[in-house]
Amino acid sequence: MKTIFVTGGAGFIGSNLLIHLHNTYSDYHIVNVDKLTYASDLAYLKEIEGSERYTFVQVDLVDRNAVRDLIQLFKPIGVFHLAAESHVDNSIKGPEPFVMSNVVGTFNVLEECRQYWGQNNLLTEGRFLHVSTDEVYGSLGETGFFTESTPYAPNSPYSASKAGSDLLVRAYFHTYKMNVVTTNCSNNYGPHQHDEKLIPTVIRTALNNKPIPIYGKGENIRDWLFVKDHCRALDMVFHSGNAGETYNVGGYNEWTNIELVYKICEILDQKVGNGPEGKYSNLIEFVTDRPGHDLRYAIDPTKIETELGWQNTQNFDRELGITIDWYVNRYKK
């Protein structure tokens, strides 16, 4: 058995990834290291909670001693690092937890892995996958795509804290030859996402017949990727990515927020059909835009496609349908 850590495994992407890894690799003992913030839910991991190949540990990565003890105890040979504060609006209201969890937390895991792997002659073998976001690149205009060489230009405290952690990870490769890889992914959708994010918010407010809030005029464009396609990309980069490299992950699936919200409303009209005058879109309400709201994100995933053979397999209508069913079930309870 090899022990690997998944940090942030009780969150949205982490829980989907943990189930994927558990069901794919029978020789992994997976330790889920999570502080259990408001965004997490251990119930997402119900299907594997009794497994002897899965262990949950509640630890705040900001606590360096706790991180060191954990590494000494479990002796991981790999880390999928996802733990982070992840909601842009919260970072605008209060940036400090973002600096603490995303920058200091990443530093603590990175540094304690370096020390443990260094002392045990495992620096080449031990692998650290840092999971980041396309938001570090800032905003695109109407054309073009983010590539791995796009300069960093973060515009929110969230993306700035992720950019800071990305740069630390990069430095650990160049300075210490640590076996790190980084991914920068576009917006994910799917089951297990916290209520505060766009797609769950649209479904929840619609089902409650409350106004569906849309920032500005809903013109911001995001590139949406199904969470399971992201998890397969993380699996590939962890196992086959080249040390020190970064890989962009995205779906070539751009939607303005308003188009996406109309699409969700139409699917809800078909599935639930209880909107005002038969249309949930009648609930859409435009609200004051988020400060520093990036206009457009879009990823060029050529590198991960050509070097690692990753393919985005999503069928957006099908996967969005699955996602909507999951939240309709959740909110109807």
For binding to ligand NAD (CB under 6 A), which residues are involved? 7-8, 10-14, 34-37, 39-40, 60-62, 82-86, 101, 105, 131, 133, 162, 185, 187-188, 194
What is the distance between the terminal CA atoms of the chain, rounded to a whole angstrom? 39
| Active-site choice (85, 112, 135, 223) | 135
The answer to whether residue 158 is catalytic is yes
Q: Which is nearer to ligand NAD, 47 or 125 (CB)?
A: 47
Distance CA 40, CA 324 (A): 19
Q: In the complex, what is the shortest distance from the CB of residue 277 to ligand NAD, in angstroms, rounded to a whole number?
A: 33
Q: In the complex, what is the shortest distance from the CB of residue 50 to ligand NAD, in angstroms, rounded to a whole number?
A: 20
The answer to whether residue 327 is catalytic is no
Q: In the complex, what is the shortest distance from the CB of residue 279 to ligand NAD, in angstroms, rounded to a whole number?
A: 28
100 exposure class (CB count in 10 Å sphere: 0-12, 13-18, 19+): middle
Distance CA 123, CA 78 (A): 11
| Active-site choice (54, 137, 158, 247) | 158
Q: In the complex, what is the shortest distance from the CB of residue 223 to ligand NAD, in angstroms, rounded to a whole number?
A: 10
Residues 60 and 10: beta-carbon distance below 8 Å: no
Q: How far is Cα of residue 86 from the mean position of the Cα atoms in its chain?
A: 8
122 exposure class (CB count in 10 Å sphere: 0-12, 13-18, 19+): middle
Q: Is the dihedral of CA 181, 226, 223, 305 positive or negative?
A: positive
Residues 265 and 281: beta-carbon distance below 8 Å: yes
Q: Which is nearer to ligand NAD, 230 or 275 (CB)?
A: 230
Q: Which is nearer to ligand NAD, 60 or 300 (CB)?
A: 60
The answer to whether residue 52 is catalytic is no
Q: Which is nearer to ligand NAD, 40 or 281 (CB)?
A: 40
Catalytic residue ranges: 134-135, 158
